[in-house]
Amino acid sequence: MDKSTTKIIIVDDELKSNHPLIVKLGQFFEEVTLFKKASDAIAKVKDNLGTRIIMILDLRLSGGETGGRALAALRELSYQIPVIIWTAVDEKTMEFFDLINFKAYAIRDKDETTENLVALVQQADADMNYALSNALERWIMAQPGDHDEIYAVATNGETVSLNQMLDEVRKDTPKGKEFTQDLVNLTIELMEKEQKKDE
């Protein structure tokens, strides 16, 4: 079985590199990287925004860092990266609601079995194949030419480059959602045309 090329980033300052979770994920994914510092993990994401990434994040970090702040920093870069929170979380706290607002893919307790956590990461990897925003991101990345040049002009005269479009999609802004919805509408329109042609 071929391994997935999706990069797995684990942020946990207590795990060792031979932890069963890391070993097991290595059986299914080509690259599994453990970071003790959230800031190092965010830097890795920033350098790899054009690739598929899944993050497993512990909220209880030392050295003045917190998983909550790391998640907020990640979401300033992209909402396209599934983040699995792997920690003890009190569902009655504000921190828990922040996780929901920052669109955590899933929240699992530290006593979750390795098998269940690996299966969840595999599910997140599979889900990325079908997310429209990810499809739009892949399409934008594949376009030739200078992505900073004007690509489209709106009816109100506003211009947008492919990089601006990509930034809006990654940050899940209203404009990014509009671009993704436009892709859905175009896909439906093309399918309807194809269906009429076949009738």
Averaged pLDDT, 122-143:
79
Angstrom distance (rounded) from CA 149 to CA 13: 42
| Same-domain check for residues 117 and 150 | no
| Same-domain check for residues 110 and 22 | yes
List the end-to-end C-alpha distance of the chain, in Å, as a whole number.
41
Q: Where are the alpha helices (DSSP H) in 26-155?
A: 38-47, 67-77, 94-101, 114-130, 132-142
What's the number of domains the chain is made of?
Answer: 2
How many residues in total does the chain contain? Answer: 199
Angstrom distance (rounded) from CA 183 to CA 177: 10
| Same-domain check for residues 8 and 89 | yes
| Same-domain check for residues 61 and 96 | yes
| Same-domain check for residues 26 and 88 | yes
| % of the chain with per-residue pLDDT over 90 | 34
Report the amino acid identity of residue 26: G
Angstrom distance (rounded) from CA 56 to CA 151: 35
- Domain enclosing residue 44, as ranges: 4-129
| Same-domain check for residues 153 and 111 | no
How many other C-beta atoms are found inside a 10 Å radius of the C-beta of residue 139?
A: 13
| Same-domain check for residues 183 and 114 | no
Averaged pLDDT, 89-115:
71
| Same-domain check for residues 104 and 171 | no
Q: Are 78 and 114 in contact (CB under 8 A)?
A: no
87-98 pLDDT, tens digit per residue, is 765 555 545 556
60-91 pLDDT, tens digit per residue, is 787 777 778 888 899 999 888 999 988 765 55
